Amino acid sequence: METQKKRVFSGIQPTGAFTLGNYLGAVRNWPLLQDEYDCIYCVVDQHAITVRQTPADLRKKTYEAAAMLLASGIDPQKSLLFVQSHVPQHAQLSWVLSCNAQFGELSRMTQFKDKSAKHADNINTGLFTYPVLMAADILLYGTHYVPVGGDQKQHVELARDIAQRFNNAYSETFVLPEPMIPKVGARIMSLQEPTKKMSKSDSNEKSFVLMTDSADVIMKKFKSAVTDSDGIVRYDVENKPGISNLMGIYSVMTGKTMADIEKEFDGQGYGTFKTAVAESVITALKPVQDEYNRILADKAYLESTLKDGAQKAQYVANKLVNKVYRKVGFAQF
């Protein structure tokens, strides 16, 4: 008998252009899982409104996020791809889970603390219960593994705690999920302040590379990357964060080890190294960019793909919600 593949689920917020950091740390790895696992990928627009969005922009970015996932290699024949708000079961399960999540544990989430400090004028309760909706995303589909960046590990662990608590209270219902954190490329740092994570919300545009940046712009951004003054290409995150970050990017792009890279650029200046890193990025992004533009221009294809994904997701999610509703004692006829 064929053993069933384990389930993978991940989500991405449609809140802006994708950076090289998003791509290398997350999106690029997702298609690689498609054969080994039963994968579900979701554009989480409901999470996005925990921070005020311009409606037209959110809509546009939802399409863009889906197009980027497809362009990166997610194959709708193999994996499910859909938009969170198209599957109402996420919000439905979220309510039940929120009644099984403690105020205290949500208060300890570091992302909540960071975001509420950053958006002090809009600390809405959605921002607070954000991890509960994320737990619903994950638990709805019997997820075993959740590929995420290190900053989301705490949220996946919370989902697991909530699942366990529910199982103990009501009998075995949810699979206990585990985070799946890529070793390399998980944390791409800012090109200007390499001790900070690369982020599209950074006010300095030179600090991040966007997936939609042209070759010229990518080259310029890498050439102006902040490094150090000792002129040696050596991997040392502590003392040489800038060079180490560039080495990390180059390593993911070329498959070379840190030792290989040190040897390759031995005795050469940072200029040569930076150019090589930029070129590796430009070459790797070119096919993704071309495909992204093609898909984004084909709205009918994009919409039918997302519609199909949502239908299939609803089918799975609905069964789980019914089961949960029955277990908690909601009357069903």
What residues are labeled active site?
115, 197, 200
Instruction: Work out how close the CB of 69 gets to ligand TRP at its nearest, in angstroms, rounded to a whole number.
Output: 13
- In whole angstroms, what is the distance from residue 218 CA to residue 208 CA? 9
152 binds ligand TRP (CB under 6 A): yes
Q: Which is nearer to ligand TRP, 11 or 76 (CB)?
A: 11
11 binds ligand TRP (CB under 6 A): yes
247 binds ligand TRP (CB under 6 A): no
Closest residue to ligand TRP: CB criterion: 11
Instruction: Select the residue interacting with ligand TRP from 71, 134, 189, 321 (CB under 6 A).
Output: 134
- In whole angstroms, what is the distance from residue 180 CA to residue 153 CA? 9
Whether the CA torsion 69, 63, 118, 195 is positive or negative: it is positive
What residues numbered 223-242 form the site for ligand TRP, per CB under 6 A? none
- In whole angstroms, what is the distance from residue 76 CA to residue 309 CA? 8
Q: What angle do CA 150, 293, 297 make, to 5 degrees?
A: 120
Stretch that binds ligand TRP, among 10-18, 116-124, 161-169, 234-242 (CB under 6 A): 10-18
Q: What is the DSSP string of 28-47?
A: GGTGGGTTTSEEEEEE-HHH
What residues numbered 18-47 form the site for ligand TRP, per CB under 6 A? 44, 47
Instruction: Work out how close the CB of 286 gets to ligand TRP at its nearest, in angstroms, rounded to a whole number.
Output: 26
Instruction: Work out how close the CB of 38 gets to ligand TRP at its nearest, in angstroms, rounded to a whole number.
Output: 15
C-alpha distances (whole Å) from 256 to each of 26, 72, 123, 262 are 19, 21, 44, 10
- In whole angstroms, what is the distance from residue 273 CA to residue 260 CA? 13
146 binds ligand TRP (CB under 6 A): yes
Stretch that binds ligand TRP, among 9-17, 55-63, 73-81, 266-274 (CB under 6 A): 9-17
Instruction: Select the residue interacting with ligand TRP from 7, 10, 188, 280 (CB under 6 A).
Output: 10
- In whole angstroms, what is the distance from residue 219 CA to residue 286 CA? 13
Structure tokens at 295: 């898909």
Binding site for ligand TRP (CB under 6 A): 9-11, 13, 44, 47, 134, 137-138, 146, 148, 152, 155
